[in-house]
Structure 1
Amino acid sequence: MKKIGVLTSGGDSPGMNAAIRAVVRKAIYHEMEVYGIQYGFAGLLSNDIEKLEIGDVGDIIHRGGTKLYTARCEEFKTPEGRQKAVENLNAVGIEGLIVIGGDGSFRGAEKLTEIGFPTIGVPGTIDNDIPGTDYTIGFDTALNTVINAIDKIRDTATSHERTYVIEVMGRNAGDLALWSGLADGAETILIPEEEYSMDDIIKRLRRGHERGKKHSIIIVAEGVGSGPDVGQKIKEATELETRVTVLGHIQRGGSPTGYDRVLASRLGSNAVELLLNGVAGCMVGIINNKVVHRGISEVLSEKHQIDKEMYRLSQELSI
């Protein structure tokens, strides 16, 4: 294999640029040509493809977002759209493709593999919701962004003796909420993987208030519902002064942490090695700090699981 392509798709995550850099430099080290596809799968259809040299990925390892940009593409979901994408790749002479993104991006990679085009997936999403890997690129950075925000909010909550409800991202996965809630000592953590009762939340708040607790932090994963709705219910039931903060897209940006830079470098490099060795239709991941790979179809057939032991611990420590 002498020519490969790389694209980023779906929501951006810190560390994507580090992964792009690793793909380009690893490939060039092995005397391969690398082509960057702009705007994800949409760029495959619009033929927005350019050759990348070593200098093109210089000074990007520390930058958030993605140098290659990202976009949604409905046309690619059709058989005709995917066939056009392959034709455009073949016209340039690209023999394999590395897709950096989340499960939606992997479904596109799976479809390309099914019609005979060698593709490897690299998990890049702040949600950490991809089976087959302990961590996805961007999760650690987003987690630290959330923790930093909660730390600041707790200062105000303490000063004004308020209850704060903080809504965090994560789509249908509760990892960001669980990890940040445990790290910041939140009194209650609501995640989509576990049922909850508003009555239990109210009882916990009242119990804390009766023993002299002056403030509380409640973390709500967006997959559970609306932070403002939860805040309103608490305010109506307890008459405690309650405020709501929706952190929003601030969680997706920023310079990647050291962990995300190293993870992205390892996974991006391994993706190139797989293509060199004739392996396709796989996702690279990290398990027990070892780089592994599994079939994309197998990964997509599984459901993301939360660490239930960690969830129980969060409840035990927030009494």
Structure 2
Amino acid sequence: MSQSPIAWREVRARLFRDLDTAGIEDAAREVRWLACHVLETDASGLLLRENLTAQELARLEQAVERRCAREPAAFITGDAGFWTLSLAVSRETLIPRADSEALIEALLQMRPDRASVRSVLDLGTGTGCLLLAALSEYQEAIGIGVDLSPDAAVLAMRNARANGLDKRCACFAGSWDTALDARFDVVLSNPPYIPRADLAGLMPEVRQYEPGRALDGGVDGLDAYRVIVSRLPDLLVPGGCAILEMGIGQIDQVSALARGQGLAERGRWQDLGGIARALVLEAPDA
């Protein structure tokens, strides 16, 4: 006996209510996003949908159930967009965020000549988002990504291969204060910067699913910056630049730490919300 068709319009309304009740912001967008993933279509294809099969409905309901439990949508779909790239994600890494694109925007402003950057280092590379975005813009550059997690380093190289950048980069596991003995034109980093006391108040998607080691910045949120800026004079070529991501209200303190190491502040870039997110530092000329 054939199954009765399952009307997509009715399913969409019910799943919207489920997500909205669970406290998911912009539940309509989330339903569309998850449906496109499960049904392997795009927004245009979704508009043409009238019915679902029982199997499609079951998969979609499972995805929505996970989202209602506040699992990030990127972990459900397995990927996230960053800059011009599509990147695989896992629970070993932070999910790339649009706010971090401020670092790439700052880099392009500071180094407009695409031939001027030949080497890039990404400290705490995670998915490889910063490193790979930089390499996609600077076609003559090679890069290295370092992450404390071996699984993160493997994921970053997987993303490099998927985006055709693996011939120009290497990612490995190690501690960023001891792993390297080389100098680079550019150093990028999005280190842990959440003050420890604030971790419990993070939204459930972050607190329950993303790795705590990539979030915990110590008592004042500045532990990682103290290590990084102390290493930058040995990691940058003369006149090289470092661009660091930071949390709300931290930029003056990090700039002061950098000046104490002989680094000059060269600029501050805001994220999409108008928050000072990227600090540009420069090593002295030889």
Given the two structures, how large is their TM-score scaled by the length of structure 2?
Answer: 0.34
The structure, 1 or 2, with the larger RCO (C-alpha pairs under 8 Å, 6+ apart) is 1
Given the two structures, how large is their TM-score scaled by the length of structure 1?
Answer: 0.31
